[in-house]
Structure 1
Amino acid sequence: MTTSLEGSWCLILGASSGMGLATARELSREGVHVLGVHFDTAEGQEKAAVAREEIRSQGVQAHFFNANAAAASTRQELVPRFAELAGDKGIRIVLHSLAFGTLLPFLPGEGEEGMTPRQMNMTLDVMAHSLVYWTQDLFAAGLLREGAKVYAMTSTGAGKVTRNYGAVSAAKCALESHVRQLALELAPWGVAVNAIRAGLTITPSLERIPGSERLAEYARGVNPHRRLTRPEDVAEAVLLLSQTCSSWITGNVIGVDGGEILTA
């Protein structure tokens, strides 16, 4: 049975662009108040401010915070603030959409350096482990109630690699493992945790990957829909999955790719 999301709250980690921003927009149209965390330079902050006002035009609250979502100090500062804003409603939807990590190969090549332990640790901390830390703090603050949904963005990179994708691939593998463990531990409280595996999507993080244009051309050719996945496709899936209080869909990697993985 579906239920209205109007008046509920969502938290988007990585809210200023790509799938995070698209999801914030989609949920706001359903009357969901938006808490967004992003980490941007001056230009990015301006775009985030425009997006925030666009979301508020839907008649909902929108609060964006420019801070490093992977830092413990950010959680310590913002989680109490979120508790004040959301009040007794808690946070119904959490989307972890952080895509910042090293794209260096493990081993040095001609004219390029190999990866350092610091870069490896940073990539896994931002893109995987921070999901656990945020969930821990939100749960401890009483913000994850029965019916809440937690989503993390994974990719086919959990099982496929290129020369520059090793650390990110490791992070996606860890992320999917964290999703399963969190789903197990949060089940008694009726909280669902799932990973969303989007098809190849043009986002700022994709454009940083060497050879991304070639990857996009290939994905477009093999996708049964003959197009790439759009951030809005992911946003619609989050909305659909969130319109129930049931926690029976949990611990999964859910493909939102138009069938791309079938023939890729």
Structure 2
Amino acid sequence: MEGKNILIIGGNSGIGYALAKQLHAQGANLFTAGRREPEGISSTHMNWDVVKTPAADAFTQLPDVLHGLVYCPGTINLKPFHRLTTDEYRADLDVNVLGAVGAIHAAYLALKMAKGSSIVLFSTVAAKLGMGLHSSVSVAKSAVEGLTRSLAAEFAPINIRVNAIAPSLTDTPLAQNLLSSEEKRDSGAKRHPLNRIGAPDDIASMAAYLLSDQASWITGQVISVDGGMGSIK
């Protein structure tokens, strides 16, 4: 990753922050966008609220050539279907899908100029498995998977690769309500064949790989990093 220009949206916590630290250590030139600047790493930061500001207005410091874009913002809104409103579905779509669309629009020309770049998006194991209380996030992340495959097909002739990662329960600030006690953590771990919840670095390492030249023949994929939950019992 030495010398490559990588944009991470949502790089101040969780998986995005773990990825920023990994890429910083590998010598990448980091550009970050979000409501807060990542601490402890060197990056060119652009303040951006995904749901309030058009990405084109916020991404004013992008380089002319961009080798990678990672869109990390997500939501966890777990409720019974009868308690979810259409506004809540819309809010999940805004953050997970339309935010990604706006970011890719704003960075498209810079990604194209690299003549070999990579976009990494995030889905969830719940888009593959039927999981109660997950209808809103499943709808949004299923749309991310459709976007991933469609853009991978459209962008392949200009050598922009597009892939998504589908994690299961991961120890991030977004999931803290699900991990608020040792009992909940133990229960969450036991649901996975590998008998633990994910760590941010588990997911970030896959994202770093998909950004690298080692993954130059991989596109249009939704890759599960989920402790086996989506495939085995």
**Same fold per TM (> 0.5)?**
yes
Instruction: Return the offset for 1:246.
Output: 6.1
Q: Over the residues paired in the alignment, what is the CA RMSD in angstroms?
A: 2.5
1:93-144 residue CA offsets vs partner (Å, 9 max, x unmatched): 211111136444331xxxxxx33322221211211222222212211x3334
Which residue is 2:50 aligned to?
69
Please state if 1:93 is matched with 2:63: no
Which residue is 2:2 aligned to?
6
CA distance, structure 2, for counterparts of residue 152 and residue 213 of structure 1: 30
TM-score by length of 1: 0.77
Instruction: Return the offset for 1:247.
Output: 4.4
The 5 Å alignment of 1:37-76 reads: 37-39=33-35, 45=36, 48=37, 51=39, 54-56=40-42, 62-71=43-52, 73-76=53-56
Paired residues of 1:222 and 1:263 also in contact (CA < 8 A) = no
Which residue is 1:161 aligned to?
131
Letter in 2 for 1:81: Q
> CA 1:212–1:197 in structure 2 vs 1: closer, same or farther (change >3 Å)?
farther
1:192-232 residue CA offsets vs partner (Å, 9 max, x unmatched): 10110123201122224599976643442254443221111
> CA 1:33–1:142 in structure 2 vs 1: closer, same or farther (change >3 Å)?
closer
Which residue is 1:42 aligned to?
none
Structure with larger Rg: 1
Instruction: Return the offset for 1:155.
Output: 1.0
Identity %: 28
TM-score by length of 2: 0.87
> CA 1:134–1:14 in structure 2 vs 1: closer, same or farther (change >3 Å)?
same
1:161-191 residue CA offsets vs partner (Å, 9 max, x unmatched): 322x221111011110110111011101111
Paired residues of 1:190 and 1:247 also in contact (CA < 8 A) = no
> CA 1:167–1:97 in structure 2 vs 1: closer, same or farther (change >3 Å)?
same
Instruction: Return the offset for 1:242.
Output: 2.3
Letter in 2 for 1:77: D
Which residue is 2:15 aligned to?
19
CA distance, structure 2, for counterparts of residue 130 and residue 55 of structure 1: 24
CA distance, structure 2, for counterparts of residue 215 and residue 170 of structure 1: 25
CA distance, structure 1, for counterparts of residue 46 and residue 221 of structure 2: 29
Paired residues of 1:129 and 1:175 also in contact (CA < 8 A) = no
> CA 1:225–1:116 in structure 2 vs 1: closer, same or farther (change >3 Å)?
closer
Paired residues of 2:11 and 2:17 also in contact (CA < 8 A) = yes
> CA 1:196–1:258 in structure 2 vs 1: closer, same or farther (change >3 Å)?
same
